[in-house]
Amino acid sequence: IPMKQIKLRRLKMSLTNPFTTSFGTLQEKEFFITEVFDDEGRRGFGESVAFTSPWYSEETVETNHHVMKDFLIGLLRENNINHPNDVLEVFKPIKRNHMAKAALEGAVWDLYAKQKRIPLAEALGGSRQEIDVGISIGIQPTVDDLLQTIDQHVREGYKRIKIKIKPGWDYDVLKEVRKHFPDTPIMADANSAYTLQDTEHLKKLDELGLMMIEQPLAHDDIADHAQLQAALATPVCLDESIHSLNDTRKAIELGSCKIINIKIGRVGGLSEAKRIHDYCREHSIDVWCGGMLEAGVGRAQNIALTTLPQFVLPGDTAGSALYWKKDIIKPEVTAANGIIAVPDKPGIGYEIDDEALESFTVSEETFPL
């Protein structure tokens, strides 16, 4: 893949609503937009998804910057990339730092698809023209606020509602939600807020008919989740615990979960995400595409990935307007009745809004490739 230079652009964007999980509240998003250029003026874009604090995983905006600048870009420069799948191999000497790797790999995928003049979805092997999406609702100040927020999004047509939970904001809240929304597909995400000692308490959730409970136990655990899943009727979905195809295989073999949330950044890029998808398809494990409060580039990648056939459950990639006053892509992502139309233009399929991109840019650096 001919590539001549790469730009790392640091952006700062304010969320329209603060987003609260069991690990903290996010109000501002700082991240990198990566941009690879070829000789013919084509530009491939990627996005880093780590937050400023290592709350979700150990990566941060700063570690993404350090690892891209001091290690990964050099590997891209020194090695031949014939296909975007090669990037994963070329980055192998560097351990983990999956979000940093995915930020660069995504830009290579976009450029590759643009050079081939095909949509990213097609380059990945996906065929859906529409995808179903749900919405993730952060922890709210009161149960009334939560019920009102849910009501609004149910009326907008989102296909399932995900509710963030933590000790003290779980069973009673969800029971109230279920009472008001008896037929709505509802799930809960704990972001690692519990331990096996909470098993009896979590078993109470079984009566609420949740689609799944996401990442109830430690971020670095697979074994305890198997014990918990054996005790629960509610399917366990793993998010934070799954970093690779290997983690996926072990979790499935141990019975640690029945569903997997695939996030491109968490697993080191689109190629690994696709491998995880393929493995889950062979093993009849349902998957869905998670979110990291992405701006438009990350959102577009999530949409392209979700066109693969085993993404049978609605993902977290809601419309741009739920996150940003203004997004960095044209048109912005919109979901009508919980359905997003997959773009048919080359690459990520959305234009970059260069003016918006510029307005959110805090700093930028260019490196030869």
The catalytic residue positions are 164, 263
Omega within 30 of 0 (cis) for the link into 182: no
Taking CB under 6 A as the criterion, the residue among 105, 189, 272, 327 binding ligand OSB is 189
The interface region with Mg ion, picked from 177-185, 232-240, 273-281, 326-334 by CB under 5 A, is: 232-240
Which one of Mg ion, ligand OSB, none interacts with residue 163, CB within 5 to 8 A by kind? none
Q: Which of residues 196-215 bind Mg ion (CB under 5 A)?
A: 214
In the complex with Mg ion, which residue's Cβ is closer, 122 or 235?
235
Kindly identify the residues of this chain, within the stretch 160-199, that bind Mg ion according to CB under 5 A.
189
* 327 lies in the binding site for ligand OSB (CB under 6 A): no
Strand partners, 19: 26
Q: Does 136 bind ligand OSB (CB under 6 A)?
A: yes
The H or E element that residue 188 is part of is: strand 186-189
Task: Output the smallest distance, CB 21 to ligand OSB, in A.
Answer: 6
Whether residue 239 is annotated as binding a ligand: the answer is: yes
By the 8 A CB rule, do 303 and 290 touch? no
Site size toward ligand OSB, by CB under 6 A:
11
Is 189 assigned to a binding site? yes
**Does 239 contact Mg ion by CB under 5 A?**
yes
Which strand ranges, in their side-by-side order, compose the sheet holding 186-189?
Answer: 135-137, 161-164, 186-189, 213-214, 236-238, 259-262, 286-289
Going by C-alpha positions, the residue among 297, 271, 268 that lies closest to residue 44 is: 297
Interface residue with ligand OSB among 272, 316, 327, 353 (CB under 6 A) is: 316
Assess 292 for contact with ligand OSB (CB under 6 A).
yes
Shortest distance (Å) from residue 37 CB to ligand OSB: 28
- Out of 30, 132, 239, 353, the only residue in the binding site for ligand OSB (CB under 6 A) is 239
Distance CA 285, CA 22 (A): 26
**Closest to Mg ion by CB, 91 or 158:** 158
Q: How far is CA 97 from CA 58, 92, 150, 164, 324, in A?
A: 8, 11, 35, 26, 27
CB of residue 240 to ligand OSB, shortest distance in Å? 7
Residue 39 assigned to a binding site: no
Among 185, 265, 269, 291, binds ligand OSB (CB under 6 A): 291
Nearest to 136 by CA among 286, 294, 28: 294
Q: How far is CA 149 from CA 99, 112, 156, 190, in A?
A: 30, 40, 11, 19
Main-chain phi, psi angles of 130, to 5 degrees:
-135, 150
CB atoms near residue 293 (< 10 Å): 20
For residue 102 the two structure tokens come to 């995915």
Quickly list H helices, the chain. Answer: 61-67, 73-78, 85-90, 98-116, 120-124, 143-156, 171-180, 199-203, 223-231, 245-254, 270-282, 296-305, 354-360
Q: If binding is defined by CB under 6 A, does position 267 make contact with ligand OSB?
A: no
Q: Which does 302 bind (CB under 5 to 8 A by kind): ligand OSB, Mg ion, none?
A: none
> What are the binding residues?
189, 214, 239
Which residues in this chain contact ligand OSB in the complex, by CB under 6 A? 21, 56, 136, 189, 191, 239, 290-293, 316
> What are the binding residues for Mg(2+)?
189, 214, 239
